[in-house]
Structure 1
């Protein structure tokens, strides 16, 4: 997998699917961590992060300033879910496994995983989004222990683990809501649209899951803010159905083996 080329800004993101790493020798006290987290600030300064299970991570101001000096604007991702990587010296800072707050770590990388959400009154409208290639699946049986599937980061933020083929160009994803569509049992449907953006991938290409295993989780996990749908929908968004066009053996949307699958996602408070 080391030969895979990532076309995004080069950031050292030492994380895998578990979002943590302990690549240390016996004499090295540097520890590494990473996670998906939402960005917050105190009046536009003093940025910090919160994970879905309530962990607050506050990096040093100097490490935030260093990343901003590279051209990253924290103000543009405030309120969004991002993938972060950080490190600390365990001889100076101890972080217990059950910590609810982590402060003083050095932020080494940050990438947004936010994708757009569109409310489309009529199919084919100017803001409608149409897929041009299927995904593989929204559910991944990673092992006998772990299963990855759509979940709520919080009440208004949906996280989708999108497995798809890709080669050399980033793909785009949009979640579309049609408010005039008839709903059943008060549960709305959200349609995932996938565009390859000119990528020339094949079923033999690497998958977003392959990249995630090697640290580029932002290609696999995508975040969707449902806030504006909340204001227009007549029903609760504590449960939604995500509709996706899937094909594990072809990248052709019109292939006869392409199927439309539905995933019911229900909000559950993480404790």
Structure 2
């Protein structure tokens, strides 16, 4: 029988993320049967989740309603972290490894990751319209609830999305958060060969002029069209995805040069 593959959630990814439902079962049984990253989709008014293999996971109406009551908005969600329980034992079994299957689940928690679509620009000149402030880093270090520190890394959700742990400076006010926007751009003139995909992360601080607080948040960007274009041209996905960003560890000075962050994507071709 088919063994479902879940892209497991690193504990560090959950730092600072609020779940829409508590994971503590409180009665001695396992709080969940599985968890992982999924894309949210809807059809004919039905919300469901799809993994990288195309398997579809349909939440029970009651558990979806509970998530909705706790703030989950299926219509605006894209990449999400889902903890779930199988409705029955057969739900966890599939058919052949080449066939996508449907499964019924009870949602335990759903955590959306802010998701956007990467844009395309002909040259670096257009980047100035989307950035007026540096980031701090794409390798922030966070304190773990389990002891020690964790250095976060950008990663790929298959060939579909890139997920970036972005650290930046801002005023210590909740209402200031909306001032800061991030754009990921594919610059046509920056692409040299199909072995690498180069993307530029731009940070616009809006009207926020203060830097008294360091924020860290995960942002996901849909890059599927660029990955597929390279694969169609060369026969394979790029072996590296390079994110370039104006980074300053103090988060106050806009540097002249970009800092590069590399993601190994060679495993996508295996």
Preserved CA contact (<8 Å) 1:44 1:75: no
Inter-partner Cα distance in structure 2 for 1:146 and 1:246: 20
**Deviations 1:181-208 (Å, cap 9, x if unpaired)?**
3526732311111112333431x31422
Quote the residue 1:115 is aligned against. Answer: 116
Distance 1:140 1:103, change over 3 A: farther
TM-score between both structures, scaled by the size of structure 1: 0.63
Inter-partner Cα distance in structure 2 for 1:28 and 1:198: 50
**Deviations 1:65-117 (Å, cap 9, x if unpaired)?**
4656799653454xx31355x687xxx9899xx99998543465553411231
Inter-partner Cα distance in structure 1 for 2:53 and 2:259: 28
Inter-partner Cα distance in structure 2 for 1:94 and 1:147: 38
Distance 1:29 1:192, change over 3 A: same
Quote the residue 1:147 is aligned against. Answer: 151
Alignment of 1:11-26 (within 5 A): 16-17=14-15, 24=24
Alignment of 1:40-189 (within 5 A): 40-41=41-42, 45-50=46-51, 58-65=58-65, 74-77=74-77, 80-83=78-81, 103-106=104-107, 110-125=111-126, 129-142=129-142, 146-166=150-170, 167=172, 168-170=176-178, 171-181=180-190, 183=192, 186-189=195-198
Preserved CA contact (<8 Å) 1:165 1:206: yes
Quote the residue 2:261 is aligned against. Answer: 263
Out of 169-178 and 108-117, give the one that drifted further. Answer: 108-117
Preserved CA contact (<8 Å) 1:30 1:87: no
Quote the residue 1:252 is aligned against. Answer: 253
Larger % of helix: which?
Answer: 2
TM-score between both structures, scaled by the size of structure 2: 0.63
Alignment of 1:28-43 (within 5 A): 31=31, 36-41=37-42
Alpha-carbon distance, 1:159 to partner: 1.1
The number of aligned residues is 232
Structure 1 gaps of 5+ residues are 1-14, 209-219
Inter-partner Cα distance in structure 1 for 2:191 and 2:107: 49
Inter-partner Cα distance in structure 1 for 2:46 and 2:87: 23
Distance 1:110 1:24, change over 3 A: closer
Distance 1:41 1:71, change over 3 A: same
Distance 1:27 1:155, change over 3 A: closer
Match of residue 230, structure 1, among 227, 230, 242: 227
Preserved CA contact (<8 Å) 2:79 2:115: yes
Structure 2 gaps of 5+ residues are 1-12, 95-101
Distance 1:160 1:87, change over 3 A: same
Inter-partner Cα distance in structure 1 for 2:26 and 2:45: 40
